Amino acid sequence: MDALARLRSKLEDMHGLDAVTLLLVWDQRTMMPAGAAATRGRHTGLLQRLGHEMLISPEVGKLIEESERLDLDPDSDDGALVRLARRAFDKAVTVPASLVEEISQAAAEGNQAWVEAKEASDFARFLPALERNVELRLRYVECFEPRAEPYDILLDDYEPEMETAEVRRIFEEIKPELVALAAERREGVDDSFLTGDFPLDRQEALSRELVDLFGTRPATWRVDPTPHPFAAGAGRDDVRITTHYFPDNLDSLFATIHEYGHGLYEHQVPEALAHLPTGTGASLGLHESQSRLWENLVGRSEPFWRFFYPRLQARFPEALGGVERERFVAAINKVEPSLIRIHADEVTYGLHVMLRFELEQDIVNGRVELRDLPEAWNAKIWDYLGVEVPNDAQGVLQDMHWSGGMIGYFSTYLLGTVMSVQIWEAAMRDIGDLDESIEQGEFAPLREWLGEHVHAYGRKFSPQETLRRATGSTIDAKPYLAYLRRKYGAPVAA
C-alpha cells in the first residue's frame, strides 16, 4: 500500500472516532441520564485523546510528507485531503494530547452544569465549570505562536483562515444599519396569536412533516427534543437534528427549519468524501449559511407560506384558523428587540451575535472577570437592544456554547447569515424560478443546487474558496444589507 492509501486509511480511522464522539455528545444532550456527565466526559475525552495521538504520530507526519511529494492536483479529492491533513497535523502537533482530553472532559461536565444552572437561573452554579473551560482554552492558545490577537487562534478552529480583525471589519460595516433598523419599531404588527395553545404532539408531527417535505433520503434522519437545538450525527446517512418545543408558541418550527439546513449540508456530502475529514462542512460559518438560508430566505418568505400556511392552519385550527396568511407572515417577520438570540428576528439577530463576539474577546483578553459576566451581558443587551434582562436563564445562560469551551464560535452565526444571502442570490440566478418552485412546494431545485454548488465540495477547500466557487465572490456584506433594506427598510403598514 502506497503512502497516500495508508494516509487515507489513518484519516478514515480518525474521522470515525470523531463521528463516535459526536454520537456520544448527541446522546448526552437528548437522552443521557443527568448523573452520567462525569462518565461521559471520560469517554469523550478518551476518544478525543486517541484521535489526537493518531494524528500527531510520527507515522502520520511521514505519510503526509510522502503524499505531498506526489504532485497531486490541488483541486482533486486526494490533493485536498493531503492539504487538509497537513493543516490539521501542523496545528495538532503543538497541543499536548493530555490537554485535548482535559478539554473534552470539561466540555461534557460543563454542559451538564449549564443545564442545571439554566434550569435554576443561577449563574453562580455554572461559574466553576465556566472557569475551568476558559482556563483550558487559554492554555490551548498558549500552545501556538502568538498571532495578531489571541482570539485569532480560537476563531481559526471554527472559521479557518479568518482573522478577528476581518470579522470586526465586517461587523462594523453591518452594525450601524442593524441598529437603525432595530430602532424603527414596527407599530401595528399584531403577533399576539403566535402565543397560545400549541399541543406538543402536533408540533412534533409538524417537525417531521417539514423535514420530509424539504427532502431527505429514506431512513437516514432523526428529529429529537433538546434544551438547545443543534444538529449532529455520524455521517451523511445518520443525520440527527434537534429542536425545542414550547407549549405556548411555535418557535420550534423555525428551529427545525434551521437545523434542517445544517443536516442537509452533511447529508449531501459526496459518498467519496463521506468517511474522510474532507467529508463535512467547510466551516461553521458555511454551515450557518445553510441553516440561515432555510430558516429565513425560505422559512420566512411569502412564497413558502402561500404553500404551507393551509397545512399549518390544519394542524392548529384553534390558534390559527381565523388568522389570515398575510397577518401570519407579517407577524413572523416583525422586528422587535428581544432577549433570546435563537428566537430573534432577522434584524436584531445580528446584534445578539455581535455582543457575544465582543464579550468573548473580553474574556480571552482578561478585560472582564468571569464572575461579572451577567452584569456585562445585561449592559450590552441594554446598549444594543434596549431590553432589560430579568434573570440569568434568559440572559447569560441562554446559550450552551461556553459550557463546552466553544469560545470563538459565535461570530460564525452572523458570518453565515451574511453568506446565506450571497448563496441565495446565486441560486436565484441559476434556478430562475426559485420562488415559484417554493410556492408550489417543490424544494428539490434548491436542495439539488446547494448539493452541487456548496455541499459537493465538503471540506476540500477553505470556507472562502468554497463560497467563491458557489457565488463568484468571497464574503461580502453588501448583498445582506441590501436584502435587509428591501425587506425592512420601510415601516410595515398597519
Structure-block grid coordinates of residue 4: 497516500
Closest CA to 405 of 141, 211, 170: 141
pLDDT for 219 equals 96
Torsion on CA atoms 316, 321, 323, 328, rounded to nearest 10: 30
Does the pLDDT of residue 435 top 60, yes or no?
A: yes
Q: What backbone phi and psi angles, to 5 degrees, belong to 231?
A: -125, 140
Q: Is residue 180 helix, strand or coil?
A: helix
Per-residue pLDDT of 285-333, as tens digits, reads 999 999 999 999 999 999 999 999 999 999 999 999 999 999 999 999 9
The C-alpha atoms of residue 339 and residue 155 are separated, in whole angstroms, by 25
pLDDT for 489 equals 79
CA 49 vs CA 171, 334, 398: distances in Å? 36, 47, 30
Compare 29 and 260 and report the one with higher pLDDT: 260
The C-alpha atoms of residue 267 and residue 261 are separated, in whole angstroms, by 10
The C-alpha atoms of residue 454 and residue 448 are separated, in whole angstroms, by 10
Residue 259 is a catalytic residue: yes
Domains of the chain: residue spans and CATH = 3-146 (no CATH), 165-488 (1.10.1370.30)
Per-residue pLDDT of 4-20, as tens digits, reads 999 999 999 999 999 99
Q: Which residues contact 310 (CB under 8 A, 6 or more apart)?
A: none
Which is it for the CA torsion 92, 94, 97, 101, positive or negative? negative
| Strands (DSSP E) found in 194-341 | 221-225, 231-235, 238-243
Which of 102, 109, 259, 360 is the catalytic position?
259
Q: Which residues contact 446 (CB under 8 A, 6 or more apart)?
A: 298, 427, 431, 434, 437, 438
Per-residue pLDDT of 157-186, as tens digits, reads 999 999 999 999 999 999 999 998 888 765
pLDDT for 494 equals 33
User: Which residue's entry shows cell 418552485?
Assistant: 437
Q: Tell me if 454 sits within 8 A of 470, measured CB to CB.
A: yes
Say what the pTM is: 0.95
The C-alpha atoms of residue 304 and residue 299 are separated, in whole angstroms, by 6
pLDDT for 493 equals 37
Banded pLDDT at 405 (limits 50, 70, 90): very high
| For residues 375-394, average pLDDT | 96
Structure-block grid coordinates of residue 390: 430579568
Does the pLDDT of residue 1 top 90, yes or no?
A: no
Strand order in the sheet with 238-243: 221-225, 238-243, 231-235
pLDDT for 101 equals 95
Does the pLDDT of residue 484 top 50, yes or no?
A: yes
The letter for the amino acid at 52 is: H
Per-residue pLDDT of 212-240, as tens digits, reads 999 999 999 999 999 889 999 889 999 99
Structure-block grid coordinates of residue 442: 417543490
Mean pLDDT, the chain, integer: 95
Q: Is residue 471 helix, strand or coil?
A: helix
The letter for the amino acid at 93 is: V
Per-residue pLDDT of 30-47, as tens digits, reads 999 989 989 998 999 999
